Amino acid sequence: MDKNYIPVKYTGVKNTARLIKEIGLENAIIELASYIEDDYKRWDQFDLSPRYASHTPDGVLELMPISDGEKFSFKYVNGHPKNFKNGLMTVVAFGVLSDVKTGYPQLLSEMTLGTALRTSATSALAAKYLSRKNSKKMAIIGLGSQSEFQAYAFKALLGISDLQVFDIDEKAIEKFRKNLAGQNFRIKLASSAEAAVAGADIITTVTADKKQATILSDNMIGNGVHINGIGGDCPGKTELQKSIVARSNVFVELEEQSRIEGEIQQMDENFPVTELWQVIKGEATGRKTQDEITLFDSVGFALEDFSYLRFINDKIKDARFTEFYKEIDLITAPDDPRDLFSFLNSE
């Protein structure tokens, strides 16, 4: 090792994909969900805050920080719904995990794949606590980049393989079918969102347009359904008719953030919600009856990114997986820590 720098572990796109394939996607989601669940159970140990967001006419750029007093993490992520028209991703991200004691980064990781993985794992984890125990069918409205991950997560954690799906884009539908071919899913292509949700026990909405929309209207939602609403994740962007939210028992990640960004931005400040950690810790009841509608109003929270980075960091420490990262010279280490200028004098 060059004595003039301290190596930081780096997991890029290729190595992350290789690592997940090596672990197995369903196994990785199950393990990641366990990390997220464990971190939610120690909610009180975290320094919590809403994300910082910079909104523009084209999208949003965000920083998502959190710390448990020993480790600090942040994620940079964007959301630009029109990007796909130019052959670009709607969402890209990277994250950093640091040691609080020294302030030194320990891991730099791609998190475009990571965000899809942790979002799907969180969705299925929430459904494990909130949906009816005999749930068998899931509807997915919106077949973009997140959809296959959602399908795999609900299969891995809840055993759901019957999918009723809808998207207005034929190419997205074909992409979804191709990616899940041969994976023991039973997929029914619906002609409309209303047809997709008919008879479904769980409904996942994951659309991308940055606007208030009515993906689900009140007359489409029957008793006992669990709604996994993950598309409405910034101010001015919703997917559910307000009356659905009013009828539902609503669960959120961080209430302070969700009041601004989630489906509950449509409701007044006194509208009751429960934070998911309370249910996971056993401090609040999730689903109370078979007939009630539960809604996980998910906007994504930094704790889930922290869990993902912790999961990846632990994996690449394992002797079986050390080939799935590189070391980069991100941190200077001059012989005299007061002499940073020496780097400019060196040959």
**Mind telling me the catalytic residues?**
233
Strand 226-229 and strand 294-297: the pairing is: parallel
Contacts 24+ apart (CB under 8 A), 133-137: 134/201, 135/160, 135/201, 135/202, 135/226, 136/160, 136/162, 136/201, 137/162, 137/163, 137/164, 137/199, 137/200, 137/201, 137/202
Strand 249-252 and strand 294-297: the pairing is: parallel
**Which DSSP category does 218 fall into?**
G
Strand 137-141 and strand 162-166: the pairing is: parallel
- Residue 339 burial (10 A CB sphere; 0-12, 13-18, 19+): exposed
Report d(CA 291, CA 222) in Å as an integer: 9
Report d(CA 49, CA 45) in Å as an integer: 13
Question: Alpha helices of the chain — where are they, by DSSP H?
Answer: 13-23, 25-41, 112-130, 147-158, 170-180, 193-197, 242-247, 255-261, 276-280, 302-317, 342-345
At residue 300, what is the residue type?
Answer: G
Report d(CA 287, CA 252) in Å as an integer: 14
